[in-house]
Amino acid sequence: MSFEIFDQAPIKIHHNPAVAGPADYPLALQSVLGAADCTAARDTITRWQGYSPTPLVSLPDLAMSLDVGQVLYKDEASRFGLGSFKALGGAYAVLCLLRQQIKKQTGKSVSDAELTSGSCRALTAGITVITATDGNHGRSVAWGAKQFGCPCKIYMHAGVSKGRAAAVEELGAEVIWIEGNYDASVHAAAKDANKNGWFVVSDTSYEGYMDLPRNVMAGYTIMTSEIIELLDKGPLPSHVFLQGGVGGLAGAVCAHLWQAWGKQRPRFIVVEPEQADCLYQSARQGRPTAVEITEETVMAGLSCGEVSLLGWEVLRQGNHDFMTLDDSLVGPTMRLLASGTAGAKIIAGESAVAGLAGAIAACRQTDLRKTLGLDINARIMVIGTEGATDPAIYQTLVGQHPDSVL
């Protein structure tokens, strides 16, 4: 594959002056996302039917082409059959909410086994969960609602594909369409929940709404638990390139790997679409900063204009660099993985490749390569957050249907 498009790609980067130096995970961040939160999520989710660790794939041919020591790709395409890492967070938060509400209504605690067995459905049927989504988070919430027997409504904006809406409806949830962008759907869901006594299960946190987004982030750390176990005896990554969005994923990964590896934690680089760069702008301003999305990015799951306060609290101290990416790099990165020329054939959706595209561009641009320390000893890790969650979009960008790739 030619990397010429990466050599010339317009990239903005902001080096975080507030990032903590080599140090253990700050005690103050335990209240944002602590070890106990991560352990509780792992103990619960790993007992769910269908749980299986996802692969951490080495891409040796790509590493050689980029003149770095290693490239590792955490492939979330098979997670719980939902095609995305989001399966971990939304469904777990639904479970936590139901436990809390049943305890509030009856005064009795219920176990995970009781909820998953259906023995509490007379109670859960009266608890309606809702969320706003670009696709994958809503699918996870809908799946959790189906598993635990509660009604579910999913708010989607006009930029969400009909294929992703259909995937949610297949799980029994009602889709409610909203004019505007993702942030408009977040506000609409919150307003309707307040009016109707429904419960928002969001992957973004804001003032007065922290507990369930913390559960969502804790669910995401199943991925990092698997990574930590796999790399326990091997060399650790030196660099991690992470998708931005609202910052929940990046904050969870940064927090958990920092907890586990302390002073040996890698350099974290958050990568966002240039059309939805709320984390980049927040880093520049030194405070949470919203951006207006006037044009949708092809990376639909990252089209977010407002940061999650929990994610931001971790990233403002733990993330080294904030980068923005042009949409033109998405299709070539997806095709690179599909072709197998990176060292393995991988089906990756459009939001899955932001971190990898950012890493390739950084390695190919001399000044940025030097600034980020991407030399022959660099060990890069990325998280491929989704597979082909919309096969039609995948076929448009890659040129073949996902079923034909493998």
Which residues participate in catalysis according to the annotation?
86, 134
Q: Which two tokens stand for residue 6?
A: 């990466």
Kindly list the strands in the beta sheet with 321-325, ordered across the sheet, starting from the edge strand earlier in the chain. 12-15, 321-325, 267-273, 239-243, 379-384, 70-75, 56-58
Distance CA 167, CA 21 (A): 43
The dihedral of CA 149, 169, 278, 56: what is its sign? positive
Ramachandran angles phi, psi of 28, nearest 5°: -65, -25
Ramachandran angles phi, psi of 116, nearest 5°: -75, -25
Placement of tokens 């098979």 in the chain: 78
According to DSSP, the β-strands at 12-15 and 321-325 are: antiparallel
Residue 73 host element (H or E): strand 70-75
Residues near 289 by Cβ (< 8 Å), separated by ≥ 6? 278, 281, 282, 307
Distance CA 178, CA 160 (A): 10
Q: Is 369 left (phi over 0), alpha (psi -120 to 50) or beta?
A: alpha
Query: For 45-76, b where at least 16 C-beta lie within 10 A, e where not — what string?
Result: beebeeeebbbbbebebbbebbebbbbbbbbb
